[in-house]
Amino acid sequence: MRVSQIIAAASRIIGQHGYNAMTLQEVADEVGMSLPGMLHYVHNKEGLLRLIIEQGYDRRFDPEDYIASGDPGATHPDGASLPGYFRFLIANNAKDPHLIRLFMQLGVEASALEHPMHAYFSMRPDNAWGLYMQTKWRVPPSTGGFHQLRPLVEMTLAAMDGLQIRSFREPPIDLVTEWARFEAVLFPSPLWDDYR
Which residue range(s) make up the domain with 3? Answer: 1-59
CATH number where 33 lies: 1.10.10.60
Q: What is the pLDDT of residues 91-132, one digit of tens each?
A: 998 988 877 887 888 888 889 999 888 988 899 899 999 999
Residues 10 and 91 in one domain: no
Instruction: Give the global pTM.
Output: 0.81
pLDDT above 70 (res 167): yes
Residues 78 and 145 in one domain: yes
Q: What is the pLDDT of residues 42-71, one digit of tens each?
A: 999 988 988 887 776 666 788 999 999 999
Residues 31 and 85 in one domain: no
Residue (of 167, 169, 162) closest to 185 by Cα position: 162
Sequence-separated (6 or more) residues with CB below 8 Å from residue 38:
6, 24, 27, 28, 31
**Total domain count for the chain?**
2
